[in-house]
């Protein structure tokens, strides 16, 4: 078996793309999108029609509303390909607005359900700020499942689990990027700080019986992926899915519930003050969270500008 086939023995594979053709090629169970991936997709000839259709059919509505409908259109197309769930992201500019995030998430689910897609097949992606986590806690109680993204630290993960979030997406590659830049070192395999972060989170969740799913995300190379074999899910770009499918190097399970249960990790008690202090004390998490929000905000603005040109 190739590495992708071996990986699937231990982990659910998710496609990290807005490119439908890639999804068809690798047959993932779920798919994730974000503002950057949608922006990249609509600049391709194959997907421009979705953007043009969203603008044409909702011409009299706000740009915000057109984007919501565009995101849901992408999600619907993706769900024709994958048998599981699609993750659709809220506007990153709402990352520090609990009420705004709740309202936007409800609207996205309303649009999906109006189009005939049950909410069980949708994960609403929200940034792992304190405000985002509190929004997700409300939404989960309404049956709106959430995927907490831009997650770089254990306290962010613990807060999500205690809020009853369906799934978290700890970012491996961006953690790796930060440490590589700050130390000048190259990290490989189990020594990779991004890999270590996801392993800590997975171990903590399984040790203390949290039900929140852990989905490693933002990979830079296949070494990071195979080191997390056994993680609940891994969302992988088409380029790295291709590399995995071309290699027959062995893939062994690295994460398991049994090993997590035996780990001596202790329980951490979190309230808002402790959360903010712990995240603030982690320079990498603080910087990458802020940077990620800024980048997603910038791509939403670029998408708005594309829409305005078509109006």
Q: Catalytic residues, which ones?
A: 125
Closest CA to 179 of 188, 190, 187, 171: 187
Helix 130-141 with 98-114: angle, nearest 10 deg: 40
Tokens 């035996």 sit on residue: 262
H helix runs in the chain, sequence order: 3-7, 20-26, 35-42, 45-57, 63-79, 98-114, 130-141, 154-162, 173-183, 193-207, 222-226, 238-246, 257-262, 272-281, 283-310
Strand partners, 167: 147, 213
Question: Distances from the Cα of 3 to the Cαs of 13, 166, 189, 263, in angstroms?
Answer: 12, 28, 15, 28
Question: Distances from the Cα of 186 to the Cαs of 172, 178, 216, in angstroms?
Answer: 14, 11, 20
What is the DSSP code (8-state) at residue 147?
E
> From CA 216, how far away is CA 194, in angstroms rounded?
9
Classified as helix, coil or strand, 250 is coil
> From CA 309, how far away is CA 311, in angstroms rounded?
6
């Amino acid at each position: 078996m190739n590495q992708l086939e071996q990986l699937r023995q231990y982990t659910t594979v998710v496609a990290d793309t807005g490119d439908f053709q890639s999804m068809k090629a690798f047959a993932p169970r779920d798919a994730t999108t974000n503002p950057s991936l949608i922006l990249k997709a609509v600049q391709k000839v194959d997907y421009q029609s979705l953007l043009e259709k969203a603008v044409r059919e909702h011409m009299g509505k706000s740009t915000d509303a057109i984007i919501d409908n565009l995101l849901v259109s992408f999600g619907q197309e993706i769900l024709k390909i994958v048998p599981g769930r699609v993750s659709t992201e809220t506007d990153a500019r709402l990352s520090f607005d609990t009420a705004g995030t709740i309202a936007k998430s409800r609207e996205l689910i309303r649009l999906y359900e109006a189009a005939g897609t049950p909410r069980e097949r949708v994960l609403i992606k929200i940034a792992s700020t304190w405000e985002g986590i509190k929004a997700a806690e409300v939404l989960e109680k309404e049956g709106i499942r959430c995927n907490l993204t831009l997650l770089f630290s254990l306290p962010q993960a613990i807060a999500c689990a205690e809020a009853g979030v369906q799934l978290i997406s700890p970012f491996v590659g961006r953690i790796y990027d930060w440490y590589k830049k700050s130390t000048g070192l190259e990290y490989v395999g189990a020594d990779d700080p991004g890999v270590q972060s996801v392993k800590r989170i997975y171990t903590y969740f399984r040790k203390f019986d949290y039900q929140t799913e852990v989905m490693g995300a933002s990979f830079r190379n296949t070494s990071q992926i195979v080191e997390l074999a056994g993680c609940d899910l891994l969302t992988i770009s088409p380029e790295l899915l291709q590399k995995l499918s071309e290699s027959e190097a062995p893939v062994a399970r690295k994460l398991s519930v049994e090993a997590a249960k035996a780990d001596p990790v202790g329980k951490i008690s979190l309230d808002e003050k402790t959360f903010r202090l712990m995240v603030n004390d982690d320079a990498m998490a603080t910087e990458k969270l802020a940077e990620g929000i800024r980048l997603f905000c910038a791509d939403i603005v670029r998408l708005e500008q594309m829409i305005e040109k078509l109006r």
